[in-house]
Amino acid sequence: MNASDKKRNAAKAAIEFIEPGVTLGVGTGSTVNFLIELLPEIRDKIDRVVSSSIASTTILEAHGFEVSTLNEVGDYDLYIDGADESNKRLQLIKGGGGALTREKVLAAAARRFICIVEDTKLVGMLGRFPLPIEVLPMAQELVSRRMLKMRGQPIWREGFVTDNGNHILDVHDLQISNPLEMEARINRIPGVVTVGIFAHRPADILLLGTDDGGVREMRS
b/e burial code for range 167-179 (CB count within 10 A of at least 16 → b):
bbbbbeebebeeb
Q: Which are the contacts of 182, defined by CB distance < 8 A and separation ≥ 6?
A: 174, 176, 195, 197, 199
Q: Which of 39, 70, 97, 106 binds ligand 5RP (CB under 6 A)?
A: 97
Subset of 67-86 contacting ligand 5RP (CB under 6 A): 81-84
Query: Is residue 130 close enough to count as binding ligand 5RP by CB under 6 A?
Result: no
Subset of 47-66 contacting ligand 5RP (CB under 6 A): none
CB of 120 to ligand 5RP, least distance (A): 10
What is the CA angle 79-120-50, rounded to 5?
15
158 is catalytic: no
**What x/- string results for residues 137 through 176 when contact with ligand 5RP is judged by CB under 6 A?**
----------------------------------------
Max CA pair span of the chain: 52
Q: Which of 100, 171, 205, 215 binds ligand 5RP (CB under 6 A)?
A: 100
By the 8 A CB rule, do 171 and 131 touch? yes
Query: Is residue 29 close enough to count as binding ligand 5RP by CB under 6 A?
Result: yes
Query: Is residue 99 close enough to count as binding ligand 5RP by CB under 6 A?
Result: yes
Q: Is the dihedral of CA 153, 199, 185, 126 positive or negative?
A: negative
* Catalytic residue from among 103, 118, 134, 183: 103
Rounded-to-integer distance, Cα 9 and Cα 2, Å:
11
How many CA atoms lie less than 13 Å away from 53 in the CB half-sphere?
21
Query: Is residue 95 close enough to count as binding ligand 5RP by CB under 6 A?
Result: yes
Active site residues: 103
Q: Interface residues with ligand 5RP (CB under 6 A)?
A: 27-31, 81-84, 94-100, 103
